[in-house]
Each structure stands twice: as structure tokens, then as C-alpha cells.
Amino acid sequence: MKKLVVSTGAGISAESGISTFRDAGGLWENYPVMDVASHDGYVRNPALVHRFYNERRKALMNVEPNAAHLLLHDLESEGWEVYVITQNVDNLHERAGSTHVTHLHGELMKVRATDNEHLVWELRPEALETTPETLIEGHHVRPHIVFFQEAVPMFEPATEIAGEADVFVIIGTSLVVYPAAALLQYVRRGVPVYYIDPNPAAVPAGVTVIRATATEGMRELYKILTGKDTPR
């Protein structure tokens, strides 16, 4: 079974209606990004950060996976072993049915202990709100998010997955967020690489650019990889 490794960014989730902060002039849903998405911001005002991610979780409950997410899952039924490495913190890939998803920047629907980063809990849809005083199994919790100024612990496992790809695909990312943008460097020489984005960044020679939105580009890629018309 061939291994398809897909690196996804904000562009794929934006088509489901999830706002991104990189196009908002330093604001994310009217909050200064460094106030709600940095280590310093969390230390300075943890209550604000908890409130911000409570709001993001509620917003996530009101959106659905789009055709790009679903087509990635469909490829599993066409004989591909699909591994998704995402910069996104939403759970839309999982909700679309993808079975191998690595989150580089954490997961919105999870929290972790403030005194032990290995203690992680998934929040229930009916209990999405947390505060600095929230206790789970005797531990105070924080969003399970990799803030700016923090290490990216899942990057090394992601490089190993990228190095095993038979086909590598990049969807909806500007290729300026590191270390995620460096994944391309771990793809073996000669492996086909596709880059789907309506405003693609400069890429090395040999990368096939599909200048399209995530959904349009995935429909084109689906035909390339399967030789079939898309089911969506």
C-alpha cells in the first residue's frame, strides 16, 4: 500500500469557516495574537487565554469538514495509506474520518496538566469551558496548544512520517511557518510532491503546483492519484 503524506495548513480549515489569524493584521477574532497564542501571553493573563480557546471550541462545534477533508479520507478507500500532518488545531480531519493525524500545534478539543505536559484530556462537547481554576484529576489545566515561544514536540515524529512518503502533498499553507515548512526537506529525493494553494509560495523545482483552493485542488489531485472522477 502506497503512503500518501499530506501537510495541511490554515487554508483547508478556512473553507469550513474557521478564521485564521495570519490574514488579520496581528489580530485573531479581534484579540492580539501574542496575547492569546504565546507563552508570555498565557503567563501574563491565563484567564484571557482560557476564555479565547473556550470561544474557539464553541465556534468549532458549528462547522463541518469540507470536501478537501473528506476527499483525503476517501483516498483511504482507494488503497492509499493516508497520513495527515496538520498545523491546524481543529479536529476536522478526524471528523472527516482520517485515521492517521499528527497535530504539530496541538489540539483545540484537548487540555493538558499545567504541571505535566504528558497528562492530556479530551473535553466533552457538553463541557468545553475551562478556566485557570479548572481541575481534572487533581491537576490544573491549560489549552493543549503549542504557543509561540514553545517547542513543537510532534515535529520529529512528523519528519519521520514525511521521510516515508511515496507521495507528499502540501495543502493550504504559506510555507512560512517553521518548523512545519521544513517538512518538505525530509521527503526523499524523487518522491512526487504536489502543492495546493490559491496563492502558492515559491517552491523548489520538481514540485507540482496546483493553484486552487483546498477543495478544488483536492478534486484535481484525487483524479491524478486514482484516475477516477471525484465522489464530491
Domains 1-18+64-105+152-232 and 19-62+106-145 share a fold: no
- What's the rounded mean pLDDT across residues 36-53? 97
Between 64 and 179, name the one with better pLDDT.
Answer: 64
Mean pLDDT throughout 98-112?
A: 97
- Over residues 208-227, the mean pLDDT reads 97
How high is the pLDDT of residue 178?
84
Between the two ends of the chain, the Cα-to-Cα distance in Å is: 24
What's the CA gap between 232 and 131, in Å, rounded? 41
Return the domain boundaries, the chain: 1-18+64-105+152-232, 19-62+106-145
Cell of 27: 489580530
206 has pLDDT over 70: yes
For the record, the C-alpha cell of 143 comes out as: 489549552
pLDDT above 70 (res 219) = yes
- Helix (H) or strand (E) run with residue 120 in it: strand 116-122
Phi and psi for 84 in degrees, rounded to 5? Answer: -105, 130
CATH topology of domain 1-18+64-105+152-232: Rossmann fold (3.40.50)
**Mean pLDDT of the residues in the chain:** 94
Residue 40: pLDDT over 70? yes
Per-residue pLDDT tens digits for 152-181: 999 999 999 999 999 999 999 988 878 888
**Helix (H) or strand (E) run with residue 216 in it:** helix 214-226
Q: Please give the grid coordinates belonging to residue 50.
A: 482560557
Q: Is the peptide bond between 179 and the residue preceding it cis, with omega within 30 degrees of 0?
A: yes
Confidence of residue 23 (pLDDT cuts 50, 70, 90): low
For residue 24, pLDDT over 70 is answered with no
Residue 102 in contact with residue 84, Cβ under 8 Å? Answer: yes
Contacts of residue 40, defined as CB under 8 A and 6 or more positions apart, other chains included, come to: 34, 149
Q: Which residues are catalytic?
A: 105
Could you tell me what percent of the chain has a pLDDT over 70?
97
The per-residue pLDDT for range 10-21, each reduced to its tens digit, is: 999 999 999 776
Q: pLDDT tens across 183-192, in order?
A: 999 999 999 9
Q: Is the pLDDT of residue 143 over 70?
A: yes
Neighbouring C-beta atoms of residue 93, cutoff 10 Å: 27
3-state class (DSSP) for residue 143 = strand
The class level of CATH for 19-62+106-145 reads: alpha beta
pLDDT at 27 over 70: no
Query: Pick the residue with more confidence: 33 or 171?
Result: 171
Q: What is the pLDDT of residue 83?
A: 98
Strand duo 167-171 + 2-8: pairing: parallel
Please name the residue that has the C-alpha cell 515524529. 157
